[in-house]
Amino acid sequence: MATSPSISLAILGSGGAGALTTGDMLLETASAAGWHGLYTRTLGPQIRGGEAAGLLRLAVHPVECLPDQFDLLVGIDWLNAHRFGAEIKVGPQTLVISDPRGGDLPPMITESGARVVEVPMKDMAKAVPNGRPNMIALGIASRLLGFGSAEQVSAAITRRLAEKGAAAIEASLAGIKSGFGAAEGIAFGTQLAPPGANAARRWLLSGNEATGLGAIRGGVRFAAAYPITPATEVLEWLAPNLAKVGGTLLQAEDELAAINMIIGASYGGTPSLTATSGPGLSLMVEALGLATAAEIPIVVVDVMRGGPSTGIPTKSEQGDLNIAVYGMHGDAPHLVLAPQSVGDCVFTAQWATYLAETLQAPAIILSDQFMGQSRAAIARPADLAFIGARTMATEISGTYNRHAMATNGVSPMAIPGTRDGQYTADGLTHSERGTPTSGAADHLAQLDKRRDKLEQFDFGDHWASVEGAGDTAILTWGSLTGAAREAAGRAAADGIDIRIVAPRLLAPVQPRRLAAALAGVKRIMVVEQTHGGQFHKYLRAHYDLPAPVRAFNRPGPLPIGTGEIHRAITEWR
Amino acid sequence: MSGVATRSTAKPADYKSDVNAIWCPGCGDYHVLMSFTRAFAQLGLPPEQIVVVSGIGCSSRIPAYTNCYGFHGVHGRSLALAAGLKVTRPDLTVVVASGDGDGYSIGGNHFLHACRRNIDMTYVVMDNHIYGMTKGQPSPTTEPEFDTALAPGGTGVRPFHPLVVALASGANFIARCFSGEPNETANVLAEGIGHPGFSFIEILSPCVTFRPDERAWKERVHPAPVAETSDQGKAARRLMTDDGFNLGILYRGNRAPFQPAVSKSDIDLSELEKDFEL
């Protein structure tokens, strides 16, 4: 049979049908066999009931975005499918598996020209003792994707259902076998190419878990937590794992408390983090100013969702760029970083922690719902040397000036317990010693110090992903980088060479580095997921863009796909 | 800075910084500062082992006037900042200083949760029933009829009862002091610092500038006419019927403080990765 390097599958069902579990099982099975993958669960803000869909893409290569169009769509039922009309693209190449008793096919399918094959999943489930239709669907999908046997998913099932006992596992496996058998006669025309001889068992994790891991790798040992969708999993992953490494997590009464708790912990010498989303970041902004003024390193993760206000808590957007970069009162230089994929969340969180500690400044990490809550099968992220190492004052003789001018702007920090290092950390404008003052000279000196320590630091090559050498540049950031990269690959096939420039470091800005990255470009496409073009305006404010610019921006919740970026480039003549 | 203070030799002056204290002449907070340094000397704590955390307001200026470590943070959040510090550095003595605006209004929610959490720290609120730093607006403890520019003719709103709230929320030590009695206040502070868990000490500290009527507080305060208790029911009745001027330790609980166990584990971080390698 023909093989494909990448196959995508959407699985739909009304709440409780088990569609999401089915997707998890497929991803786990594929990752164990060495495929790469990305799995997004899409659902409304309800806890149970309503609509649910799992969007899965498996490939022989790293996967950082979903497809424009799904190769395979399995509908356990169609009761709430209309709510996904805009999100799940199907077309004439899509094979749809539908249960004749699952309700009417929605227009998104009937109008797409997709090929529909009916399989009576509900009836087949009834024929298996304690059978469930989603296990039939799992069997069908396993065969169509090209898994060797129904047994290949048994490890994932056994792990998932361990608590439910042998009978439940047995029933599920019987359902899977039934589905696997039924798929024999379905012509799909392709299957996943084998993962390759050297393919190792993949890591399976979400971007939010990856962020937690990166933070611990970077040295974070305290987190304060206030739950908010879609950031909570960062904190839930940290709770047990911080405890394993001698750290602590404290649940706060609100976001105001959370950020002040981490400032207190960091003042005491412990690298500290909190995680939130846009509404929470808004509440934290005042204390971010305090951390800037008092030069206390902290890390704040913002897993962005649709905004403003409560917005769309379960869907992705990049609309917090402005508040992250400009949100603070006064002139408050700080770090803003953005990971670019699930795997990059490990790196960026680790680097952010390292930078915050090194520069004694707050760092905001702008992740988003898409990469934060997607699970990915990836190669293990490399170990890095970026371990937070704060410059400390440990032996003090004479007067200790906490905020002393230093050539690199970073002054040694005494932590409580250090003899003769006593000082009062203060949000008031202060002298080098830390004593409050309203004098112009001290104010300017400390503003300069806090700016210069960030501007003079050498951030190295990690500041951005710069790939390709074409004279058409795509300037993008965050989780859109994967789709842009893939669009560049397609454009190359059309003979258009694209250069991808995606800053990972959004503040402090790096004008010389961006100028070098854009040298020789003839045109620039700015791609971002905002309504107001925040990234475009940010670029215009801080950088010389040396060529004509087109902006391609759209708000969430619809992801910006590879095909759209590709089309925008090819149509620009 | 001497930095050397032992139980036998510590003097209040060892805990006083060389920063000139600036409050209005006659402000009760001068005496509170004196009580702080006396209490620290009485306990013989090395100044570098003490952290005084505050928010914003007249009372919150106090950290810089001590020779301890200090944190003068944002308005209303001192208890949260102190909680993060204390759970990660249980070796330190943490004292939080606040006022009735900072602590009961903007910081009110943190007050409830700090009592509930019962972390081993001491919370001192210098209550003068007014916002002083912003020049005389009504605070949560201002009397309803007290006339101000912001609330002409009075707020008409019943004052907050911090001690009752503290008891109901789980504070483990509740006391009231008067700034005009610095020795007694120092003794209560030392008791509160020594008592495990969250100790709440309200210090009536007159604002002579915006509440000259509070000069009369020295006539109104009196020692609590009852012995201290660890019975919450008794304490509740006592506090609910309180005239606002009872001084002394009004409740001393025996709830174990909250301190998350921190493992001394030095496991390799690769242990954490096992979850990802299904």
Q: Compute the distance between CA of residue A206 and CA of residue A228 in angstroms, rounded to an integer.
A: 16
Q: Report the candidate in B61, B37, B49, B213 with the shortest Cα–Cα distance to residue A418.
A: B49
Q: Do A209 and B277 touch (CB under 8 A)?
A: no
Query: What pLDDT does B1 receive?
Result: 31
Residues A276 and A209 reside in one and the same domain: yes
Looking at beta carbons, which residues of chain B come within 8 Å of A267? 71, 81, 85
Q: Is residue A386 part of a domain?
A: no
- Across B247-251, average pLDDT: 97
Nearest CB partner across the interface for B276, out of A203, A246, A423: A203
Number of domains in chain A: 4
Interhelix angle A562-570/A480-493, rounded to 10 degrees, is: 50
- Give the CATH number for residue A521: 3.40.50.920
Q: Is residue B124 part of a domain?
A: yes
Residues A434 and A467 reside in one and the same domain: no
Q: Compute the distance between CA of residue B108 and CA of residue B105 in angstroms, rounded to an integer.
A: 5
Its domain, for residue B136, covers 25-276
Residues A221 and A341 reside in one and the same domain: yes
Query: What pLDDT does A383 receive?
Result: 87
Residues A227 and A342 reside in one and the same domain: yes
Q: Which of B15, B45, B51 to mutate to test the interface with A (most CBs of A within 10 A)?
A: B51
Q: Is residue A385 part of a domain?
A: no
Closest-CA residue in chain A for B49? A417
Residue for token digits 């004439």?
A92
Residues A476 and A442 reside in one and the same domain: no
Q: Compute the distance between CA of residue A252 and CA of residue A265 in angstroms, rounded to an integer.
A: 13
Q: Is residue B100 part of a domain?
A: yes
Please give the structure tokens belonging to residue A189. Answer: 């025309």
Q: Compute the distance between CA of residue A250 and CA of residue A264 in angstroms, rounded to an integer.
A: 12
- Give the CATH number for residue B136: 3.40.50.970
Residues A233 and A129 reside in one and the same domain: no
Name every residue whose Cβ is closer than 8 Å to that of residue B139 and which is 6 or more positions away in sequence: B99, B100, B101, B104, B105, B129, B130, B131
Q: Is residue B10 part of a domain?
A: no
Q: Do B88 and A265 touch (CB under 8 A)?
A: yes
Q: Is residue B254 part of a domain?
A: yes
Residues A139 and A61 reside in one and the same domain: yes
How many residues would you count in chain A? 573
Separation of CA A262 from chain center: 23
Last residue of a domain, one of A155, A178, A201: A201
Q: Compute the distance between CA of residue B141 and CA of residue B123 in angstroms, rounded to an integer.
A: 17
Residues A197 and A209 reside in one and the same domain: no
Looking at beta carbons, which residues of chain B come within 8 Å of A201? 277-278
Q: Compute the distance between CA of residue B35 and CA of residue B19 in angstroms, rounded to an integer.
A: 17
User: Is the pLDDT score of B6 beyond 60?
Assistant: no
Q: Compute the distance between CA of residue B166 and CA of residue B200 in angstroms, rounded to an integer.
A: 7
A 10 A CB-CB count for A165 gives: 9
User: B103-124 burial, b for 16+ CB within 10 Å, e for fewer?
Assistant: bbbbbeebbbbbbebbbbbbbb
Q: Compute the distance between CA of residue A41 and CA of residue A359 in angstroms, rounded to an integer.
A: 38
Q: Is residue A383 part of a domain?
A: no
User: B177-207 burial, b for 16+ CB within 10 Å, e for fewer?
Assistant: bbbbbbebbbbbbbbbbebebbbbbbbbbbb
Closest-CA residue in chain A for B119? A250
Residue A115, phi then psi, degrees to nearest 5: -85, 130
Last residue of a domain, one of A378, A405, A428: A378
Q: Is residue B196 part of a domain?
A: yes
Q: Do B53 and A244 touch (CB under 8 A)?
A: no
Q: Is residue A280 part of a domain?
A: yes
Query: What pLDDT does A49 receive?
Result: 65
Name every residue whose Cβ is closer than 8 Å to that of residue B213 and which is 6 or more positions away in sequence: none
Q: Compute the distance between CA of residue A266 and CA of residue A248 in angstroms, rounded to an integer.
A: 12
Query: What pLDDT does A46 receive?
Result: 65
Query: What pLDDT does A44 receive?
Result: 67
Q: Compute the distance between CA of residue B64 and CA of residue B31 in angstroms, rounded to an integer.
A: 15
User: Is the pLDDT score of B19 beyond 50?
Assistant: yes
Its domain, for residue A415, covers 391-457
Q: Is residue A96 part of a domain?
A: yes
Query: What pLDDT does A42 receive?
Result: 85
Q: Do B63 and A424 touch (CB under 8 A)?
A: yes
Q: Is residue A384 part of a domain?
A: no
CA distances from A382 to A219, A299, A462, B275 (A): 16, 21, 14, 17
Amino acid (1-letter code) at residue A138: L
Q: Compute the distance between CA of residue A214 and CA of residue A210 in angstroms, rounded to an integer.
A: 6
Residues A268 and A232 reside in one and the same domain: yes
Q: Do B83 and A213 touch (CB under 8 A)?
A: no
Q: Is residue B12 part of a domain?
A: no
Query: What pLDDT does B253 receive?
Result: 98
Query: What pLDDT does A14 receive?
Result: 83
CA distances from B163 to A68, B79, B100, B130, B198 (A): 62, 16, 12, 17, 13
Looking at beta carbons, which residues of chain B come within 8 Å of A422? 1, 3, 17, 47-48, 67-70
Percent of chain A with pLDDT over 70: 99
- Across B215-226, average pLDDT: 95
Q: Is residue B214 part of a domain?
A: yes
- Give the CATH number for residue A233: 3.40.50.970
B60 and A242 Cβ atoms separated by less than 8 Å = no
Residue A449, phi then psi, degrees to nearest 5: -55, -45
B112 near A CB under 8 A: yes
B235 and B260 Cβ atoms separated by less than 8 Å = no
B274 near A CB under 8 A: no
Residues A215 and A358 reside in one and the same domain: yes
User: 3-state DSSP call for residue B142?
Assistant: coil
Q: Write the ipTM.
A: 0.97
Residue for token digits 């109104």?
B220
Looking at beta carbons, which residues of chain A come within 8 Å of B264? 246
Closest-CA residue in chain B for A436? B64
Which positions of chain A have pLDDT values less than 70? Answer: 44-49, 85
The long-range contacts involving A166-170, CB below 8 angstroms and separated by at least 24 positions, are A167/A130, A168/A130
User: Which ranges in A409-533 belong to alpha helices (H)?
Assistant: 440-455, 480-493, 511-517
Q: Compute the distance between CA of residue A341 and CA of residue A481 in angstroms, rounded to an integer.
A: 8
Residues 61-80 of B with CB under 8 A from A: 63-64, 67-74, 76-78, 80
Q: Which of A27, A211, A260, A386 to mutate to test the interface with B (most CBs of B within 10 A)?
A: A260
DSSP bridge pairs for A526: A475, A551
Residues A368 and A477 reside in one and the same domain: no
A262 near B CB under 8 A: yes
Query: What pLDDT does A436 receive?
Result: 94
Q: Report the candidate in A58, A115, A109 with the shortest Cα–Cα distance to residue A84.
A: A109
Query: What pLDDT does B269 receive?
Result: 87
Q: Is residue B5 part of a domain?
A: no
- Ranking A285-294, B167-176, B236-245, B269-278 by mean pLDDT, the lowest is B269-278
Residues A108 and A25 reside in one and the same domain: yes
Cis peptide before B138 (omega within 30 of 0): no
Q: Do A419 and B48 touch (CB under 8 A)?
A: yes
Nearest CB partner across the interface for A268, out of B63, B85, B109: B85
Q: Do A221 and B53 touch (CB under 8 A)?
A: no
A290 near B CB under 8 A: yes
Q: Do A264 and B84 touch (CB under 8 A)?
A: yes
Using a 10 angstrom Cβ sphere, with 0-12 exposed, 13-18 middle and 19 or more buried, the burial of residue A9 is: buried
Q: Do B92 and A417 touch (CB under 8 A)?
A: yes
Number of domains in chain B: 1
Query: What pLDDT does B4 receive?
Result: 40
Q: Compute the distance between CA of residue B69 and CA of residue B47 in angstroms, rounded to an integer.
A: 7
| Distance to chain B for A298, nearest Cα, Å | 12
User: Is the pLDDT score of B96 beyond 70?
Assistant: yes
